[in-house]
Structure 1
Amino acid sequence: MSSEWISRLWLLQLAFTMAVLAVLLLRRPCRRWLGAERSFQLWMLPPLAMLVSQLPHAITHTAAPPTLVHIVATAGGAFPAMPQATMSSDWRTAVVAAWLAGMVAVGLLGWFVQSRYWHRLRNATPASGPSRWPVLFAAEPELGPALVGAWRPRIILPADFKTRYDECEQALILAHEEAHARRRDGLWSLCAVVVVAVCWPHTLAWLGWRLFRLDQELACDAAVMRDHHGLRRRYAQAMLKTLSAASALPVGCAWSPRHPLTERIAMLKEKPSLTRHRIGGYVVAFCASTLAGMVYAATPAVPEGKGVAPNHYGLSIDVAYNGGAPETHFAQCLKPGQYVTVNGSATGVAAWNGRFTVVPAEGGQLEVQGDLSGGTLEEPVHPKVRGQPGQTATIEVGEVHHGDVKSNHSIRLDVTARLGC
């Protein structure tokens, strides 16, 4: 399981890296030629690439490796197969645990910052107006303007909103926050927090977070100016009067010092034509489909035996006594967790009983686990053998003397596990 988690996390990181590098390469040219709104839409590429990297591929058929026989045999009893790569399994488990701990830590940090902001709004008062979204007046002048929340966003205005801004500036600030709400920027911010939490060890995750918030504000400014292009100077004056929050709001959009005002004011002069805006939609869609195809093609296909656990396993058991040829043959179709019972006896070998099941193992292997008692065994044994689907493994218990067949008093089980029946 640890190996599978490591593999999936590694694919996530590769897909995320490829997507973020593509965004960093394209965002400025796209903003210059197609507008800030289309440039911001490029940030859908990282979560899209990460999602595509986890999509299942068709199962590929690989050539069966040479038959590998595991012999679990000594005179007087059977020993379980040697544990495979215990040290390796331990470090994989430690890496997965550290990764999950980091994700939880980032999530808790975001929750704490968000909760602290909401706590400061406990004395906020609702405002009346024509806005489609709830508008609250904060009790402090340092809070707002901002949009808070993802599913049910609220517009937060500072306590001195009506005295700090004139009527025209008030309308523009409210239009800015409504544009955030209309564009679902709170939901975009939540998605960005999730991506950062998943990729928290990656330097590009934190750089991308900062640039994402900047592009988000530039896109919102562009949306406002598309409807109020003649009020660029008044809009810039409103920006200069707005106080910056101490830190970026995780789920929401606050005026933060991470949004350089000089760059935002300079972008107010840009007004891409409607034709460029429409072309930009096709360009972004092309980039998204191309990157998704590249990530999917680069993701390795699942070899046969490493896909989703089947509904049934096939188990064949050939039983031989005293070093001779197999005398008894069992074949059973098992559900996951189901056991098959076998038993028998022979000359020199008292009656014995056993039961076996098949479980998936690392690397696409199948493990046959058994319980044996009776025969020449003084006490029950619990052998385990592991191999690729379709390979035969051997369990041999009892008194084994390979040089003297007459002295053999043993039970040999040739077990073969397969995917499906």
Structure 2
Amino acid sequence: MMAWATGTGLAVSVLIGLVLLVRRPIARTFGARAAYALWLAPGLRAVMPTLPAAAVPLPASLPMGSIHTWVVQSASTDAGWLTLPVALGGMWFGGAILFLGFHGWRHYRFLGRAPAQGRALDVPGVPYDVVAPAHVDGPMATGLIHPLIIVPMDFEQRFSVDQQHFALWHEQLHHRRGDIWASAAALILTSLLWFNPLAYLALGAFRRDMEAACDERLLADAGHAVAPAYAETILRCAARPVPRSLCALTTIDELKGRLNMLKTNHGRGRRLAGLLLAGGVSIAGLALSVPAAADDGVKQQEFTKKIVIHGGPGGKNGVESADSGDLEKMGANCDGEKVELSADGGGADKKQTVKFFVCGKKGEGRTELVAALEKAAANLGEEDDMDPAIKAELQAKMRAKIESLRAGG
């Protein structure tokens, strides 16, 4: 789990840094929607599961008496519940909860009982509830389950009819485009990276790109000729910053960038090329995946070394193929007499288990099996990466088995 979290956090941070570097050139060249789509890359990578580790294939044919070995990570022994990974995991989880709790509190504190206490507006053509509470400066959209548009109490007096139309159109687009859900996902992702300064830079940049993309979509639907009138609406709607959980039409800190983006008019072909480029970046980001590995969290490492010997020269192989982690399958596929031995050892931080398996040819007597064991015992002595105590124990068991076979046991 810790390996996945570390690898995923690193990969997402790399993608965030990349998006922060290229978002402005992409927006200037291909449009605001292409820059907004770039944020899909770290988002997709954050939820990508761990890839399965590749199995080590067993060679199909080996001569009698040869030894084939490999090492795979397997289950391990608990090293106690309070370890450094557990402590770090607890700090990470606690920080994420505090981050989400803080933003949830800000959201509730800002809106309060606005839906219940605000003045409801009946706006023809708007399928969402529109509420005008007393403490809101500018139009905004909110509500994951119950979509809601919130406007200032003096909405009809402060804005002209056209400006009201543009403001409500903008907030409706936030709901239709799923920007409310995207904002919630961005907050969750930032909470998981609460210790990373890049995450906070990314959250602000993401919101600016989201608003600019919404502006671009509105002008694409209405026609770029309305850009001056829409710019006046944005100026009139300038308000104080709002909680990150809300999609406001504009805030003062985003005003300059929003107005600059309205001056550009990218063609449909260029916008499509930008979206395809953003999709390519997202797909490429998935390549920053983490293969499955042994649990390096609360547990110690334990290695299993399997020594396999096949049937006699020129004869049918006792085991044609098997997965590296499936010694039982080898035994089930053996149609002759077989011998399985094992020995344990290693230090406190690296336990090692060696498992030996030999399969004789079907119908052959014990003489051939004894010869294979003698050859295996000799070859085992040449193994340099094995714990000497394990090697000695395994050779002793081989010799005992040889004597037992010779005695007819």
| Aligned with 1:32 (options 7, 28, 31) | 28
Query: Are 1:264 and 2:264 an aligned pair?
Result: no
Q: Indicate the residue corresponding to 1:330 in structure 2.
A: none
Q: Which runs of 5+ in 1 are unaligned?
A: 67-80, 307-366, 368-383, 393-421
1:282–1:386: structure 2 CA closer, same or farther, 3 Å change rule? closer
| Aligned with 2:229 (options 221, 225, 234) | 234
| Aligned with 1:46 (options 33, 42, 66) | 42
| Aligned with 1:190 (options 184, 190, 196) | 184
1:301–1:176: structure 2 CA closer, same or farther, 3 Å change rule? same
| Offset at residue 117 of structure 1 (A) | 3.0
Q: Indicate the residue corresponding to 1:223 in structure 2.
A: 217
| Offset at residue 193 of structure 1 (A) | 0.6
Percentage of identical aligned residues: 25
Q: Which secondary structure does the structure 2 equivalent of 1:15 belong to? A: helix
Question: C-alpha distance in 1, partners of 2:53/2:124?
Answer: 53
Q: Could you say which structure has the higher strand fraction?
A: 1
| Aligned with 1:274 (options 232, 246, 268) | 268
Is contact 2:144-2:180 (8 Å) kept?
A: yes
| Aligned with 2:11 (options 15, 36, 50) | 15
Query: Are 1:165 and 2:149 an aligned pair?
Result: no
Is contact 1:196-1:209 (8 Å) kept?
A: yes
Q: For 1:109, give the aligned amino acid.
A: F
Question: C-alpha distance in 1, partners of 2:267/2:54?
Answer: 48
Is contact 2:12-2:46 (8 Å) kept?
A: yes
Question: C-alpha distance in 2, partners of 1:279/1:385?
Answer: 53
| Correspondence 1:76-91 to 2 at 5 A | 84=79, 90-91=83-84
Q: Indicate the residue corresponding to 2:391 in structure 1.
A: none
Q: Which secondary structure does the structure 2 equivalent of 1:260 belong to? A: helix
Q: For 2:284, give the aligned amino acid.
A: T
Q: Indicate the residue corresponding to 1:61 in structure 2.
A: 56
Q: Could you say which structure has the higher helix fraction?
A: 2
TM-score using structure 2 length:
0.64
Question: C-alpha distance in 2, partners of 1:272/1:291?
Answer: 26
Q: What is the number of equivalent residue pairs in this alignment?
A: 291
Question: C-alpha distance in 2, partners of 1:255/1:249?
Answer: 13
Is contact 2:41-2:283 (8 Å) kept?
A: no
Q: Which runs of 5+ in 2 are unaligned?
A: 58-68, 297-343, 357-409
Q: Which secondary structure does the structure 2 equivalent of 1:136 belong to? A: strand
1:44–1:131: structure 2 CA closer, same or farther, 3 Å change rule? farther
Q: Indicate the residue corresponding to 1:174 in structure 2.
A: 168
| Aligned with 1:115 (options 108, 114, 117) | 108
| Stretch of structure 1 that moved more, 39-48 or 274-283 | 274-283
Q: Which secondary structure does the structure 1 equivalent of 2:117 belong to? A: coil
Q: Indicate the residue corresponding to 1:134 in structure 2.
A: 128
Considering only aligned residues, what root-mean-square deviation do their CA atoms show, in Å? Answer: 3.1
Q: Which secondary structure does the structure 2 equivalent of 1:147 belong to? A: strand
Which structure carries more relative contact order (alpha carbon 8 Å, separation 6+)?
2
Q: Indicate the residue corresponding to 1:96 in structure 2.
A: 89
Q: Which secondary structure does the structure 2 equivalent of 1:155 belong to? A: strand
Is contact 1:60-1:302 (8 Å) kept?
A: no
TM-score using structure 1 length:
0.63
Is contact 1:248-1:258 (8 Å) kept?
A: no
